[in-house]
Structure 1
Amino acid sequence: MADTPSSTPATAAAATVDADKVALTLLLVSGSRTTFTFQPTDTIEVVKSKVFESWPKEWQEEKPASPQSLKILYLGKFLADSSTLESNKIQSGATTIVHLTIKAPEQELPGHSKSDSAAKCKFCLIL
């Protein structure tokens, strides 16, 4: 089996994974899901890059701007880019469901540039 991710439907058949591989079923907020296979030593940064490069055709409406726009949530915490799948206790030989969120691109406020250091507050609420 190659080191590149393979996309397979999230069905009972996807439950069989090579003992030396990690299968991640990525679940979007919309409820869409797909499964990719990785090495246990892959970092989260590598996982996000491979997912971005192999973005499923059925998810084109939700495609992020870059791999950095992706966040992976597992057991209630966002996984650090420098951590590996095995260091996050994601087991080899099994399929694990993780949530995949897509950070919305930052929008520029009228009258403020992105380099304007004084424009830190994006929204203000006055009661």
Structure 2
Amino acid sequence: MSSRNIPADKINLRLILVSGKTKEFLFSPSDSAGDIAQTVFDNWPEDWAAEAVPKAEVLRLIYQGRFLHCNVTLGALVLPLGKTTVMHLVPRDNLPEPNSQDQRQKSKSGSRRCCAATCCIL
């Protein structure tokens, strides 16, 4: 879709809104989902005016069907450098609870994800 050259040390994110509109932004592996939301909010594309949000904090990224918490970095997702990765960008105040039905189904099937970003409150 895009013919621009992507620097070898950057990740090109193609963000898709619910409306289907897309825009591409360049980020570093050290950028977090929260940084990305703030950058997109600060540089809101003119053709996205109808989907404008009141503050960056309501913007959430979805990658491979999962909401990303604001402190997850692109590097932690092991995204390829110099390439384009597609994510969805949605306005949402809260993330789903980790103990939702999706989590229960995962534990029933016995599948485990190797992710160090899991929090457990005892």
1:28-56 deviation line (CA, Å, top 9, x unaligned): 11110000001111111111100000000
When the two structures are aligned, how many residues end up with a matched partner?
A: 93
**Aligned-pair CA distance for 1:93:** 0.7
TM-score after normalising by structure 2: 0.72
TM-score after normalising by structure 1: 0.69
SS of 1:52 mapped into structure 2: helix
Greater radius of gyration (CA): 1
SS of 2:76 mapped into structure 1: helix
Q: Which runs of 4+ in 1 moved over 2 A?
A: none
Aligned-partner Cα distance in 1 for 2:75–2:62: 15
> Which letter maps to 1:12?
S
Aligned-partner Cα distance in 2 for 1:98–1:13: 18
Aligned equivalent of 1:89, options 49, 53, 78: 78
Aligned-partner Cα distance in 1 for 2:76–2:70: 12
Partner in structure 1 of residue 60 of structure 2? 71
In structure 1, runs of 5+ residues without a counterpart are 1-10, 105-127
Q: In the alignment, is residue 60 of structure 1 matched against residue 49 of structure 2?
A: yes
Taking the TM superposition and a 5 Å limit, the aligned residue runs for 1:6-25 are 11-14=1-4, 16-25=5-14
How many percent of aligned residue pairs carry the same amino acid? 33
Taking the TM superposition and a 5 Å limit, the aligned residue runs for 1:43-54 are 43-54=32-43
Aligned-partner Cα distance in 2 for 1:25–1:12: 9
**Aligned-pair CA distance for 1:80:** 1.1
